[in-house]
Amino acid sequence: MNFDFETGEVLLIDKPLTWTSFDVVNKVRYALKKKLGKKLKVGHAGTLDPLATGLLIICTGKMTKQIDSFQAQEKEYTGEFTLGKTTPSLDAETEVSEVFATEHIDNELVIKTTQRFIGELDQIPPMFSAIKVNGKPVYKQARQGKEVALEARKISIREFEILAQEIPKIQFRVVCSKGTYIRSLARDFGLALDSGAYLTALTRTRIGEFRLENAWQLTDLLQELAKE
């Protein structure tokens, strides 16, 4: 394949589970340095948590100037909430800290509750996030057991669909604006059900017009970059 990494390329990658977004950037940057014999600007357009998979946009060279515009585009995710429990990180990174009743929850209530989350919302980000307070990422402070007050942010959810239910597990699809935290949606959804919930799986399937089905597997891309 013909790439022009210095002029700039937009690489779509299916981020592997447990990898950070920066792990992927560093791996691609190292592979390009080895291939080209010099350093090149490489960056990603929108972080995915380590326990999430799916579409990660990697920009090289002059295309890194487009990162902000890519980040601003609408996102689509599929995933799984587990009802009746919560964790400090709002996902499976930390142990379950609270348990709630789920006997009152049925399929109809779950579907009805999704309607409360469509439109413009005020959402409080997770404590385990890269948002900075007093110059420090709040996740670092959270891991030290410190409480940090985070302000709610305006977000927009255009679609929130339940794909399958086997309570306490529910499968969902969400189309949302930049800045939406699906872990926070899990927390708020659980509260709206008079219970709890946390995120147990997440895949980003789309950013704007870029789709996961057109993405490289990271191992395949690295093999391609290693070719002479």
Boundaries of every domain in the chain: 10-72+210-226, 75-207
N- to C-terminal Cα distance for the chain?
11
Domains 10-72+210-226 and 75-207 belong to one CATH topology: yes
Closest CA to 76 of 50, 107, 44, 52: 52
Return the ∠ at Cα 35 (arms to 29 and 38), rounded to 5°.
65
- Its sign, for the CA torsion 47, 49, 50, 53, is negative
Residue numbers annotated as active site: 49
Per-residue tens of pLDDT for the chain, all 228 residues: 678 898 999 999 999 999 999 999 999 999 999 999 999 999 999 999 999 999 999 999 999 999 999 999 999 999 999 999 999 999 999 999 999 999 999 999 999 999 999 999 999 888 766 666 666 666 666 666 666 667 789 999 999 999 999 999 999 999 999 999 999 999 999 999 999 999 999 999 999 999 999 999 999 999 999 986
Dist CA 156 CA 165 (whole Å): 24
Q: How much is the pTM?
A: 0.92
Per CATH, the architecture of 75-207 is what?
2-Layer Sandwich (3.30)
10-72+210-226 topology per CATH: Pseudouridine synthase (3.30.2350)
Q: What would the two tokens of residue 211 be? A: 């789709």
